[in-house]
Amino acid sequence: MTLLLNEHEVLTSNENQIILTNKRIQMTQKDWGRSYKISIFLEDISSTQVLYKSNIVWLVLGIFSLVYFALALIQNDRFSYYDKAPMQISLVVGLIFLALYWFSRRHIISIHSDGGKPLEFMINRMSDAEIEHFFDKVQSSKHDRMNELFKQ
């Protein structure tokens, strides 16, 4: 990141993917075959939030499959050997759906700008204290930036 005139770095986070300066916040991500960069000037930030995202459909399907398995298990004596295959399949499918739900969960920080795309990043390796510190730094930097702009 090339700093602007009179700009200095305040904080870096998420293994230097997020850089907060006294004028803007920038995120740079590089994955296999993909590069993504977004920058928001501090005065354009309208809200910040921490949220969990997940695919709830996987959870519902997993619970439904496991309930079917439990009901079939209760009536196990009535089934012949060949009728037990759907019961066993429902157990495996239910566990797969629950695993898909578990891996779809994402802990995300989202910083929204006025009318622009939000800056969103996963916070896998950040503790609650680090998240709180990051939020405080973003808010205090925005406050300082707004004071700087309106003094002129």
* pLDDT tens by residue, 21-60: 999 999 988 878 888 888 999 999 998 888 888 999 999 9
The token pair that represents 127 in the structure block: 């503790």
Percent of the chain clearing pLDDT 90 (strictly above): 33
| 82 Cβ neighbours under 8 A, 6+ residues apart | none
Residue 29, exposed/middle/buried by CB under 10 A (0-12, 13-18, 19+)?
A: middle
Return the domain boundaries, the chain: 56-104
Phi-psi region of 108 (alpha: psi -120 to 50; beta: other; left: phi over 0): beta
pTM, full prediction: 0.68
In the numeric block, the tokens 């986070």 are attached to 13
When pLDDT is averaged across residues 10-31 and rounded to a whole number, the result is 87
| Separation of alpha carbons 123 and 14, rounded Å | 7
Q: What is the pLDDT of residue 123?
A: 82
